[in-house]
Structure 1
Amino acid sequence: MNNNKQSKKNHEEIKHIFTGLNREFLKSGFSTKELYNACLPKERSNYANSGLFIAFLGLAFLVISTYQYEAFSTAINYFLGVRCIVPNNYFVWEATRPVSDCNFCINITNPIVLQNVTRKEFAPYAYTSKPVVIKKAFLHWAAMKHFDFNFFKELYSSIEDSYRSVDEECQFLHFKSNFISIRDVFEMTEARINNEPGEKSWYVGWGNCHPQILAEMRRYYPKPHFLPESCEIPSKEYVFMGYDDGATMHLDFINRLMWQAQLKGSKTWHLIPPPECEDVCSQFSFLVEPGDAILVDTRVWYHGTTITPGEFSLSVQSEYG
């Protein structure tokens, strides 16, 4: 029993060490990609030739030096032999994704733009891979008025295990920001929250899996009225918020089509076809504004966003199918 308790304690110490180490690594100016490359599962002899890995171990030694030898040894073995602290699922998915049928993007150079539509009017577009923007679809949502940075900060601070649910059950996306977790985001200074001059810009996203968090969020908006009545909505919804660069270019490895509600600020979406379709399809960009609905098959369109300068953007996203 005592051994189990000690093992659990060591595991928590290691987790704490590497979370802090990850944060220090990013603060030192390295990118997430560089961190990932340093963590690739190679032979140990190859690590010795990696300046990046040596730098990482140097940071590790400084962080861990105050711990007992057993914890240090366990942590290094954990890093070298078991797994990297950077999840590698995305890289595996990207390397093994199926080749796209380019018919989905041929002759598409702009999204289909609809004015606020009924379920019947939207039906012909509901399951297409063609991007769709529905103007002013969500102006009636209470979330348009109530959702902002402080709303989510207070919500997460008031519910037990809310931070843990993002870290362990859902997903946190820091994009180009230097955050490790959603807790880091909500500990920002007021000046940085407001993106004041001289402050480092930020943009993040995260999945909301905690049932109490979701229940509270959904008090402020219903299922989008234009979606098919029979479609299913998963028990996870994302929030994206911040300034300037927005989301970096990527694919979503999800099971269903995506809808997003732009609630605060305006932002530009950039869509690029997959490499195998570049010769027959075009990349393009389009602007969305507060109250707009965006529907993009993000499983086949590479997509990124940029926020209109000087504006704070906040959006809610989920899937349907």
Structure 2
Amino acid sequence: MAGTDSLENIDKDLKEVLDFCVSSGLTSSQIVSGARPLLDAANQSKRRAWLRRVVLVSLAVAVVAFLFQNTWTYRWICIASKITAMKVLPYWDWTPLYDEECILQNPYIIQDKLTEDDCQECVNYKKLEYVYNLTHEMVAEDYLFSNLPFIVLDATTGWKATSEFNAESLKKLFTENKVLRSHNVCQYINNEGQPLADVLAGRASTFHTVWSNCQLQAIKVFRSYYHRPYFLPPMVEAALENFVAFSSGKSEQTSGEEDEDSDFLKHVVVDDLTWFAQIRGNYFIQLRPKQPCDNICSLFSFVLEEGQTMVVTNDMWEWHFAPADSAPTIAIGSTGNWDS
């Protein structure tokens, strides 16, 4: 109440001063000129308050950045956060939020869905195209925007992996390299459930497996064995993660039929594009069009041979792969996204 009364009194006084100025014959410009010192003082006060807020926010950001950059304090922040989260769990189940990509959903975002119109691009695409010496424009216009898979014949030229990777060197790399040995892999899949340690130590003679390197230091080490495929246009933002497919001793795939006893692994990824480069041996691959394109587009079954790189968009196609024969087989790959 006291604050309201004070504002009313100030407003009343200002009106009286304005009425006095008008009755004295002063013009609007003269009144503004006379009030300028008061207005300047008020603006200066606002600037000081704004500057004070900026300084306080900057200090807070600097302190938080320092705490998170310092290894010791960051570790304790993580420990305290995890302990707090566990203690809160009996009173509030926050686990559904942990699995959400966005806490606040944007109602203006429209999720792209595959339509039958999209499928028309592949109606006449009955045979995979094997291409080389590509330009960025060709890749974008002829394949990516049309969701057409293709095989590149010269993508791995000059890669360190092509000259150095074999079954023994790959095992040695992941067991003896200081960084790769100390960083766990992620999204590890083995169709026989064998631990990766058994595969790399040679305790598994027959295996078919794939895993991803998703910790930054491990990603950097593995990237030294390949570089960004030359044919990817600038619109493709390459993912940090890379993955390795490694198989040996499996029976030959000839029919292309997948059943519960087959050696196929399904490649699951949410990014727009995947490239998959055959380094050693051969993989048998099935590209299956997704609904509603499954009755419109062709199913492709083929053997990816050493030195070839498959490129496929993941919106329209799901793909499965298995070793084409019993020889040691190695492939590496990664994904990418773009603004459509």
TM-score by length of 2: 0.55
Q: Which runs of 5+ in 2 are unaligned?
A: 1-78, 80-94, 100-111, 251-261
Aligned to 2:174: 156
Distance (Å, rounded) in 2 between the aligned partners of 1:108 and 1:309:
28
User: Does the alignment pair 1:265 with 2:281?
Assistant: yes
Q: Deviations over 1:150-208 (max 9, x none)?
A: 333333334567467445xx31122x2222x432322332xx4x54xxxxxx1111110
Contact 2:289 2:297 in 1 (8 A): yes
Q: Deviations over 1:53-109 (max 9, x none)?
A: xxxxxxxxxxxxxxxxxxxxxxxxxxxxxx9xxx9xxxxxxxxx9565533543332
Q: Return the offset for 1:132.
A: 0.8
Aligned to 1:302: 318
CA RMSD of aligned residues (A): 3.4
User: Does the alignment pair 1:124 with 2:141?
Assistant: yes
Give 1:90-105 correspondences, 5 Å limit: 100=115, 101-103=118-120, 105=122
Q: Which runs of 5+ in 1 are unaligned?
A: 1-7, 9-82, 88-96, 196-201
Contact 1:165 1:209 in 2 (8 A): no
Q: Name the amino acid aligned to 1:302.
A: E
User: Does the alignment pair 1:177 with 2:177?
Assistant: no
Q: Name the amino acid aligned to 1:208.
A: N
Aligned to 2:125: 108
SS of residue paired to 2:240:
coil
Match of 2:234 among 202, 215, 229: 229
**In 2 relative to 1, CA 141–160 (structure 1 residues): closer, same or farther, beyond 3 Å?**
closer
Distance (Å, rounded) in 1 between the aligned partners of 2:296 and 2:214:
39
The structure whose Rg is larger is 2
SS of residue paired to 1:320:
strand
Distance (Å, rounded) in 2 between the aligned partners of 1:105 and 1:124:
14
Q: Name the amino acid aligned to 2:298.
A: S
Contact 2:275 2:309 in 1 (8 A): yes
Q: Name the amino acid aligned to 2:153.
A: K
Q: Deviations over 1:269-294 (max 9, x none)?
A: 21122243333232121222111111
Aligned to 1:188: 202
Q: Name the amino acid aligned to 2:330.
A: L
Q: Name the amino acid aligned to 1:156.
A: F
Q: Name the amino acid aligned to 1:236.
A: E
Distance (Å, rounded) in 1 between the aligned partners of 2:278 and 2:154:
10
Distance (Å, rounded) in 2 between the aligned partners of 1:213 and 1:160:
10
Distance (Å, rounded) in 2 between the aligned partners of 1:253 and 1:230:
17
Distance (Å, rounded) in 2 between the aligned partners of 1:107 and 1:213:
42
Distance (Å, rounded) in 1 between the aligned partners of 2:247 and 2:278:
12
SS of residue paired to 2:193:
coil
Q: Name the amino acid aligned to 1:291.
A: G
Q: Return the offset for 1:140.
A: 2.4
Distance (Å, rounded) in 2 between the aligned partners of 1:234 and 1:137:
17
**In 2 relative to 1, CA 283–266 (structure 1 residues): closer, same or farther, beyond 3 Å?**
same
Aligned to 2:154: 136
Q: Return the offset for 1:251.
A: 4.6
Distance (Å, rounded) in 1 between the aligned partners of 2:181 and 2:120:
42
TM-score by length of 1: 0.58
Match of 2:209 among 204, 213, 220: 204
Aligned length: 219
Q: Return the offset for 1:131.
A: 0.5
**In 2 relative to 1, CA 115–281 (structure 1 residues): closer, same or farther, beyond 3 Å?**
same
**In 2 relative to 1, CA 106–172 (structure 1 residues): closer, same or farther, beyond 3 Å?**
same
Contact 1:112 1:130 in 2 (8 A): no
